[in-house]
Amino acid sequence: MWRKATLTAILLLVLLSAVPVDAQSKTFYWERLDVEIAIASDGTFVVQETQVIKFTSGTFTYGYRSIPADRLTAITGVEVWEDGIPCRVEVERSGDEYRIKWYMPEPRSNSRHTYVVRYVVHGGLRYYDDGDQLWWKAVFPDRSFPVQASTVTVRLPEGATAEKAEAYFTKATVTGVGTQTVVFTAQETIDPGQEFEVRVQFPHGVVAGSPAAWQRAEDMRPVVNLVMGVVGAMLAVGGPLLFLALWYVRGRDPHVELPTDYLTEPPSDAPPAVAGTLVDEKADMRDILATIVDLARRGYLEIEEVRKRSFFGTDY
């Protein structure tokens, strides 16, 4: 028994030692994640992320950024620098996202580095008569580690001033409404899974462009939901009434008038019970009595009149 337990323990140690150290524990955090967004007059905008990362354990050889593609048409001009040194970059579109992967000049561990990620977004603005809008998730939610500080700066093109500005999902201060530059400053640590989204509205017609297909579909969604809700309510309320009307018009048996109140001969060879049921669609006592009389008429039964006197009179 002792030998079996010892062999099991040795096997567990061998298996654990086979797992790479960096796979067991890779941790880091963002000291800062600042984002600058510059909107161009042609409707595109340049995003520059400055990520100050402190690697705390494990060894890292590349960085990774995933950008949802459901509210834009394309991303181009992707560049990445580490501490001012250009990195080799790979970009691919996979499903509903763009994947940016950059390779570090050399493996990094227990160190602090600044990464600048820059790219151009096409078809990412919203166009409305009341004012065009920029919505952007500056600090992305698909993170396993926190961001300790973040500032988002939005620069509008020449001739545009910010009419409205809002921050979402992260407590932040907003300055610059009424000017060409709006600054959002996070007032809390941004936890893993938490996002920092910003919105800036500026006068319509300053930048070129028109609503992209994704915006038209998104703007129509409330109308479609309303129509589907009305149709659902109509079906819920009017459906039973519709079936009742269809039954009343098409489902009922047609009304047939009897040719006379009294017939001397049966209208067909059908037994009385069948004929009576066909007339009023139910079998009642009259049909039973008629069947008994019919059986007697055909010789299957004999009916004998029996007179019986009682206290209440004569009974048959």
Residues 186 and 217 in one domain: no
Q: Where a domain ends, among 150, 181, 206?
A: 206
Residues 299 and 201 in one domain: no
Q: What is the DSSP string of 159-213?
A: T---SEEEEESS-EEEE-TTSSEEEEEE-S-B-TT--EEEEEEE-TTSS-----H
Residues 306 and 243 in one domain: no
Residues 121 and 35 in one domain: yes
Residues 197 and 84 in one domain: yes
* Enclosing H/E stretch for 88: strand 88-94
Asked if residue 263 is part of any domain, the answer here is no
Phi and psi at residue 154, in whole multiples of 5°? -115, 125
pLDDT at site 311: 62
In the predicted structure, residue 209 carries a pLDDT above the cut 60: yes
In the predicted structure, residue 146 carries a pLDDT above the cut 90: yes
Query: Quick check: 26 and 58 in contact, CB under 8 A?
Result: yes
**Domain of residue 238, residue span:** 212-252
List pLDDT tens digits, range 37-75.
Answer: 999 999 999 999 999 999 999 999 999 999 999 999 999
In the predicted structure, residue 181 carries a pLDDT above the cut 90: yes
Residues 157 and 236 in one domain: no
The pLDDT > 90 percentage for the chain reads: 60
In the predicted structure, residue 124 carries a pLDDT above the cut 70: yes
Residues 193 and 221 in one domain: no
Q: Strands 74-82, 151-155: parallel, antiparallel or unpaired by DSSP? A: unpaired
Q: What is the DSSP string of 18-46?
A: TS-HHHH--EEEEEEEEEEEEE-TTS-EE
Number of domains in the chain: 3
* pLDDT tier, 229 (very low <50, low <70, confident <90, very high otherwise): low
Q: Where a domain ends, among 189, 206, 223?
A: 206
Question: Which residue from 65, 66, 71, 75 is spatially nearest to 121, judged by alpha carbons?
Answer: 75
- Taking the C-alpha atoms of residue 268 and residue 276, their distance in angstroms, rounded to an integer, is 12
Asked if residue 292 is part of any domain, the answer here is yes
Asked if residue 198 is part of any domain, the answer here is yes
* pLDDT tier, 241 (very low <50, low <70, confident <90, very high otherwise): confident
Residues 227 and 134 in one domain: no
Q: What is the DSSP string of 113-137?
A: EEEEEEEEEES--B--TT-EEEEEE
Residues 116 and 149 in one domain: yes
pLDDT at site 287: 76
pLDDT at site 249: 74
Asked if residue 40 is part of any domain, the answer here is yes
List pLDDT tens digits, range 254-292.
Answer: 666 666 666 667 667 777 777 777 777 777 888 788 788
Neighbours of 21 (CB within 10 A): 11
* pLDDT tier, 3 (very low <50, low <70, confident <90, very high otherwise): very low
Written as six digits, the tokens of 50 are 């400055």
Higher pLDDT, 18 or 33: 33
Residues 77 and 97 in one domain: yes
Residues 238 and 300 in one domain: no
In the predicted structure, residue 305 carries a pLDDT above the cut 70: yes
Q: Angle at CA 43, nearest 5°, toward 39 and 48?
A: 35
pLDDT at site 17: 38
Residues 160 and 239 in one domain: no
Asked if residue 12 is part of any domain, the answer here is no
DSSP symbol at 147: B
Asked if residue 42 is part of any domain, the answer here is yes
CATH code: domain of residue 96 = 2.60.40.1730
Residues 6+ apart with CB under 8 A from 279: 258
Asked if residue 29 is part of any domain, the answer here is yes
